[in-house]
Structure 1
Amino acid sequence: MRGAMGKLHHRVACTALVDAYTELSRLVSTLDETDFPRASRCAGWTVGDVLFHVLLDAQRALVTFGTPASTPPTADYISYWRDWANHRSEAAAAAHARFVRIGASAYADPRALAAQWHETAQAVLRFASVMPGSDHVATQGYSLTVTDFLATLAVEATVHHLDMLLELPGRPQPRPGPIELTVDVLDALLGDVDVRPAWDDLTWLLKGTGRLPLTPAEARGLGAVANRFPLLG
């Protein structure tokens, strides 16, 4: 998936984001009023809460596209997540979770939330299709190339797409491209290990993001590396 010198090709990142947002939108289109209150893989969050969280991420993307960075890149599509893992705060996560629950509950009709997601996602994809991949943008205290930023959006959407499916069997799944990109990110975050459990891609995504716990045998096989899980949130 990567191009020369370990860099992510802009077309790969852009296509992954298009696939991630398009398929997530297709999932959202299948939701009725009884689906939004269903549980998700994010502890304490409903399907509607997760959708609101991803909507916030898409809104942040629009701000980021309009915020040129004043410095060279300080992170790429891998180190962005590594820094999250190194600096994650339980207090900040709890505060954000509360904000999301309150924000999502403010929609009197969850279909309005779905409609806002659809129009915001389309706006993100329109901007993503015309911005040069080498441009530098600023977000959350980082400077990233547009290419790397698009990849972070695709990974976020893919993980949360899976979150929403917990009680929604038979609904649209993430497409292979975004799944492959997310697997690449998890592989890079894990690094070299003596024993890697024989996970399929979806299980790796759920284990690597803490949605499924490591079994005692998996933890023993990974050794000290197991203490770094979840690798990505």
Structure 2
Amino acid sequence: MTTRPGDRTEPARVVGDAYDALAAVVRPLGDEESWLPTGCTGWAVRDLMFHLLADARRALVALHTPAAGPPDRDAVTYWTDWAPDPVGAAHGRRYNRVAASMFLDFGQLKEVCLETLAAAARAAAAAASDRPVRTQGHVLTAGDLMTTLAVEATVHHLDLTVGLPDAPGPSATGLAAVRATLDGLLGRPVPYDWGDEHYARAATGRTALTLAERRALGADAARFPLFS
């Protein structure tokens, strides 16, 4: 993706928008809401918030970890390492549940989550988007890293609001980044008239494909979910 400073699709702007939208959901939550279910199996709101906190911390580390070698992944191919892993997913659910429970006061978890999201957004705004950085065993440009962070934040925003019907939705730029990533993984624009939010849910396994959708996708239906 070619970007220009100030362009709505500039990566720092996209991840900043995604994190701002998340913060708007998190900020008013109280202890009662923190126990509501989410779109992530086995996770309540507070568990997913701890996962989002961990990802924002990863963003801060990655944006300050320059890499000497050239990028081996971009904003789309970053996701190609994903494969179904029921055992790993179960371990992740258990870890997040236990770790999130260490915050006896939900307000403390909320405060550190909001602070870290804001810090990660500021770090993204200050980073040169073409600088190679390292994360999770791969090298990406900082701009491509930012796009992956926005995609993950936007998909989890949809998860977070499953039990919060009055909460604000994800940012438009975040949803556009999700669509571009999914189309990139699919290798073509999705051949179905899906809205951004439904596409995000269907292509990440959060919503089952209907028979009509499977027919429209053809052989590509077997590739869903594209990532989770």
- TM > 0.5 fold call: yes
Q: Supply the distance in 2 between the matched residues of 1:10 and 1:71 (Cα, whole angstroms).
A: 29
Matched, 1:47 2:35: no
Q: Supply the distance in 2 between the matched residues of 1:16 and 1:143 (Cα, whole angstroms).
A: 20
CA drift of 1:223 comes to 2.2
Q: Supply the distance in 1 between the matched residues of 2:102 and 2:161 (Cα, whole angstroms).
A: 23
Secondary structure of the residue that 1:19 maps to in structure 2?
helix
Contact 1:10 1:147 in 2 (8 A): no
Deviations 1:123-152 (A, max 9, x none): 112211111111111110000000000001
Q: Supply the distance in 2 between the matched residues of 1:188 and 1:26 (Cα, whole angstroms).
A: 29
Partner in structure 1 of residue 159 of structure 2: 163
Contact 2:9 2:173 in 1 (8 A): no
Matched, 1:182 2:181: no
The answer to which of 168-177 and 214-223 deviates more is 214-223
Q: Supply the distance in 1 between the matched residues of 2:122 and 2:84 (Cα, whole angstroms).
A: 31
Partner in structure 1 of residue 67 of structure 2: 69
- Partner residue of 1:226 out of 207, 215, 221: 221
Secondary structure of the residue that 1:107 maps to in structure 2?
coil
Which aligned pairs between 1:128-207 and structure 2 lie closer than 5 A? 128-192=124-188, 196-207=191-202
Q: Supply the distance in 2 between the matched residues of 1:164 and 1:136 (Cα, whole angstroms).
A: 31
Secondary structure of the residue that 2:46 maps to in structure 1?
helix
- Partner residue of 1:101 out of 97, 103, 117: 97
Partner in structure 1 of residue 34 of structure 2: 36
Q: Supply the distance in 1 between the matched residues of 2:218 and 2:81 (Cα, whole angstroms).
A: 22
Q: Supply the distance in 2 between the matched residues of 1:23 and 1:10 (Cα, whole angstroms).
A: 15
Q: Supply the distance in 1 between the matched residues of 2:40 and 2:53 (Cα, whole angstroms).
A: 15
Contact 2:11 2:129 in 1 (8 A): no
Query: Percent of pairs identical after alignment?
Result: 40
Which runs of 5 or more residues in structure 2 are unaligned? Answer: none
Aligned residue type for 2:2: G
Aligned residue type for 1:95: H
TM-score, length-normalised on structure 2? 0.93
Q: Supply the distance in 1 between the matched residues of 2:163 and 2:60 (Cα, whole angstroms).
A: 31
The answer to which of 43-52 and 223-232 deviates more is 223-232
Aligned residue type for 2:97: R
Partner in structure 1 of residue 10 of structure 2: 12
Secondary structure of the residue that 1:36 maps to in structure 2?
helix
Contact 2:52 2:153 in 1 (8 A): yes
CA drift of 1:88 comes to 4.2
CA drift of 1:159 comes to 0.5
RMSD: 1.7
Q: Supply the distance in 1 between the matched residues of 2:177 and 2:122 (Cα, whole angstroms).
A: 21
CA drift of 1:3 comes to 2.0
CA drift of 1:119 comes to 1.0
Q: Supply the distance in 2 between the matched residues of 1:44 and 1:83 (Cα, whole angstroms).
A: 24
Contact 1:10 1:133 in 2 (8 A): no
Which runs of 5 or more residues in structure 1 are unaligned? Answer: none
CA drift of 1:66 comes to 2.2
